Amino acid sequence: MTISFRREMEKDYRAVENLVREAFWNVYRPGCVEHFVLHRLRKDMDFVPELDFVMEKDGEIIGQNIFVRAQIKADDGRRIPIMAMGPICVAPAYKRQGYGKLLLDYSLEQAAALGCGALCFEGDIGFYGKSGFTYASDFGIRYHGLPDGADASFFLCKELAPGFLKDISGEYATPAGYFAAEQEPETFAAYEKTFPAKEKKVLPGQIF
């Protein structure tokens, strides 16, 4: 078995979008939107092409991850440059076998090497905590629009440069590109029709 990582190339786009669609289908909602989000984010001004990765096993693409520039609006008026991450996934056949953590840890190393000081994004602490993520509230970072006292356990953060968020408190808002499907419903619907039909199901644990 050979696992390798490389930058995504344009020739990979369709295969990677299909991988993302398969990985997220019926997970967080009936159907999914993550493949369209990836499709649109590649053209977003905040997309970081240097951190657009695929993971291969014996030459087959089985995982992917991307990064997007974001910021924290600090309470003292500063804008703190950070990054957001994802969609990140592995193909369904390779889930829960350690491949996701391999991809995540490699991606984080590369982001740190590129100078990213911290990451904020929405995720499951049960998985991402194993790679050093913690609740963003531990750093004094709030999620935009979330009422005081509301459950923010989905909102995670990790310093890639130790001390980067020291003495910083403020608010984070998910980059607008992540809402592409909601902002462009007709474009998304037309895009979705270019893929093979799949059954949308309402399942326990979905959040949308």
User: Which residue ranges in the chain fall short of pLDDT 50?
Assistant: none
Q: Render pLDDT for 184-206 as a digit per residue (tens, 0 to 9).
A: 999 999 999 999 999 999 999 88
Q: Which amino acid is at 183?
A: Q
Q: Which percentage of the chain shows pLDDT scores above 70?
A: 100
Q: May I ask the CATH architecture of the domain 3-192? A: 3-Layer(aba) Sandwich (3.40)
Residue 149's pLDDT is 87
Helix/strand number for the chain, H first, E second: 6, 11
This prediction has a pTM of 0.95
Contact 121, 84 (CB under 8 A): yes
Q: Please state, in angstroms and as integers, the Cα–Cα distance from residue 24 to each residue in 28, 49, 136, following that order.
A: 7, 22, 24
Q: Render pLDDT for 95-106 as a digit per residue (tens, 0 to 9).
A: 999 999 999 999
Distance CA 95, CA 118 (A): 26
Residue 11's pLDDT is 98
Residue 1's pLDDT is 64
List the chain domain ranges. Answer: 3-192
> Residue 205 belongs to what H/E stretch?
none
Residue 205's pLDDT is 87
Distance CA 26, CA 49 (A): 28
The 3-state DSSP class for residue 72 equals: strand
Residue 148's pLDDT is 86
The rounded Cα 82 to chain-centroid distance in angstroms is: 14
